[in-house]
Amino acid sequence: MMSPEALFMRLESLAIRLLHTITDGATCRVNPLDFTALLYLRDRGFVNVSVTDGCVVAQRTVEGKQFAIERARGGALTEVSNEASER
């Protein structure tokens, strides 16, 4: 079984991957398999989520764009990894 830290890092990794697929200024249909990651992004204010024509759609926010840029550089993932290894 995975540790809570490992599960969090996995969820964040999936969320970052999803966030990179959402183009600025465009509405993107979201695959049902990505809903958990989408909710993570929504709860942190990185995407706006709505239902259009029966499909879940998302738009990346300015904060989401900044988050994606920081994670692409390896920013806070290193901090989370360090915290997990200290425990």
**pLDDT tens track for 1-48:** 778 899 888 988 899 889 888 887 788 889 888 999 999 999 999 999
pLDDT of 60 reads: 94
- pTM metric for this prediction: 0.70
pLDDT of 2 reads: 79
Query: What are the extents of the domains in the chain?
Result: 4-86
Q: Specify the fold of 4-86.
A: Arc Repressor Mutant, subunit A (1.10.10)
Q: How many CA atoms lie within 13 A of 46 on its CB side?
A: 25
27 touches 49 (CB < 8 A): no
- Comparing 75 with 72, which gets the higher pLDDT? 72
